[in-house]
Structure 1
C-alpha cells in the first residue's frame, strides 16, 4: 500500500518522466518512463465502452470503444447466433445488447481484455490507442465473467450457454484448455498463488423463479480446478446460485453471495459447510419486490475486501447501499447509500476504497473502507457493470 508521500513521489516521477520523454532525453517506454498510475476500468455494458478512472482522485481518463467491429460482427453472424443475441437482449440485457461484461488488464498494463456477451466472444485492445488486437469466440453463444491468472499467462472465461470455462492464451487469444462446470458458469477466481481456479455457477436464471420449480435452474456448483493440469479436483453442490465470492489466502475460508439472499455466507471449503450467515436489511423499495423482479435472481451482487482482509464491502443491489462488514467478527460497520442498483464491487489498487458500479443510475460510488462513507460518485457510461483496478503506465493514459 502506498503512503501519501509515496503517492506524491509517484506523481512527481510521472511529471519528470513525461518531461524527459517530451524532450527526447529518453525514449517512450523506457525504464525511466515506466511510471504507473492506479486506474479503475469500468465496463459500460449497454454502451460497449470502457471508462478509465483515476483510482486516487477519481478523475476520468479516456473512454475505449470495445465494439469497433460491431457492424462486421453482425454481418458475419449465422442465423442461430442472431437468435441467441436476441434471447440475450430480451432476458439478461433487459432490452439491450450486452456488449461488455468483464475486464482484465495484462501485467504490463498496456492491453485490456473484454468479454462481450451478446457477441459470444472475448477481444483484446491496446489501452493507449484503442486498437483491437485479437478476437476469440467462446464455446456456445455467450461470454461472461473472466479471471486473469496472477502471472498473466492464462485468461479464464465463462461460456455460459455451453456450461464450460474456456481458458485462453492472452498473448494470442487462442483457446488452450476448457473444463466443465454447472449450469450458467458465472464468476471465476484464481488463488493468490495461481495454482487453483474456482468457478461458480448461478443456474439457469431465465427459468421461473417459483420455489416449487427451483430444480429447473439446474446445477449450481463451485468447481475447483488444478491449473497445472487443468483437471477438476472437486465439485461442491451449493443447490443455490453462487453470486460474487471471495476466497481468503488460507484457501479455506470463502465469502459468497447467493441468489435471492440479502447478505452473504461464510463457507468452509475444507469441511464443505456454511459456518456463518450474514443477513442484511432490505430497503423499503426492496421489500416491495416480487421474487421474479430481482435482477437475474440477484439480491446482493458485488463483494470486495480491503488490503489487510479486515473489511468486506457488500453491494446491496436491490437496496442501493454498500455494507461495510468487519472481519473476522462479521459485524456491520455501516450501510453506505450509493447510486441505483449497485451491481458490482471492486477494491481499488491501494486497497483502501471500494468502488461500486451503479447500473441503473449510470455512475460509480467510491466508498472508504475505514471512513465508512461515500467519497465520490462519478458518472460513467450506460449500464456500468464490471469494475476492475490496475496499475498502468502513464504513457497509455489520456
Structure 2
C-alpha cells in the first residue's frame, strides 16, 4: 500500500562497506500532470511501468493517482508494489510532487526520504531524495528525483542544472559509500555546457543520444530532456534506453500525449537486471477519438497547459487575461511573442474565436 514520508529525518551512517552492484532496473518518467482530470489511462501507464523495478516520477499532481497506479500494477503483475510521494513543491501557485514507485520483490526502501531543504533557494522545485536497496543482494542506490524549471529559455534552466553538483556532493554525505542517481526531467540536453560541474564530480548521463519528448509527428521525438545521471565507475550500469511507449501501446503520438504523457520514460539497468517493456496485447484504444479543441476563454488550466509554449504558469496568466477576441491576443501574456503564438495557432488545438 502507499507510504507517504514527508521530511523524514536523515541519519548519516559512517563506516558502511562499499556499495556493490545489485540487479535492478531503474526508470524515470514525467507523467504530465498525473492526477489531474485529464483523461489519463492509468492502465496504459501501468503496462509500461511494469517494465522496471524502481521509478522516480515527476509531475505528480495528486497522491491518489499514484495509489491508483500502484493498484493497477499489482493487478497487472500479480506482485506487490509500494510507493511514496513528497509534499508539493514550487514557488508559485502551481506546485507538483515527486513519487517513488517500486516492485517489492526486487526493491526495498531503506532510509532518508526527504525533500532537499535548498538553503539558497536555488530550485523552483526542490529535489526529493531517498535510498533503496536490492532485496536479493542488499546493495543500495541513493536517488534524487528532480524536475528542472522550464522558464522562457535555456538560460533559465542552467542555474538549477549547475546546482545539481551541490546535490551530488550532499548525497555523498547523507548516503555515504552508496552509488548515486539523479533522475528526472531536466529540460536540457546532456551535452550542454551547464552539465560540466556535475561531470567533474564523476557523474555521467545514462542516455546520450535520441530524444524523449514526443513531437506531434508519429515516430519523431523532439528533445532529450529526461535522463538518469549516475555514479560512473561505481554503479554497475549494464544498459540504458528510451522507452518509446507509443509503439509498444500501438498509439499515435497525438493519442499518446492525450491519454498517457508527452514524455517517454528512460531507464538504466544495474548488474544482471533485464528490462521487461513489452508490446500491449488484447486492449483496444479508440485512436479516432479526437480531443475537443481548447477554448481560450473557457478551458481549465490543465487544458490550456496542453498547448505548445504554454506551461502551468502561463495557463494561469491566460485565465487572468480573459477574455480573448482572437488568438493573437495571447501576445499579451508574458513570454508569448508572435513566434510562439504562431506555434500555438499552427498546432490546430485552439478553438476558433
TM-score (norm 2): 0.33
- Structure with bigger strand share is 1
- Structure with bigger helix share is 2
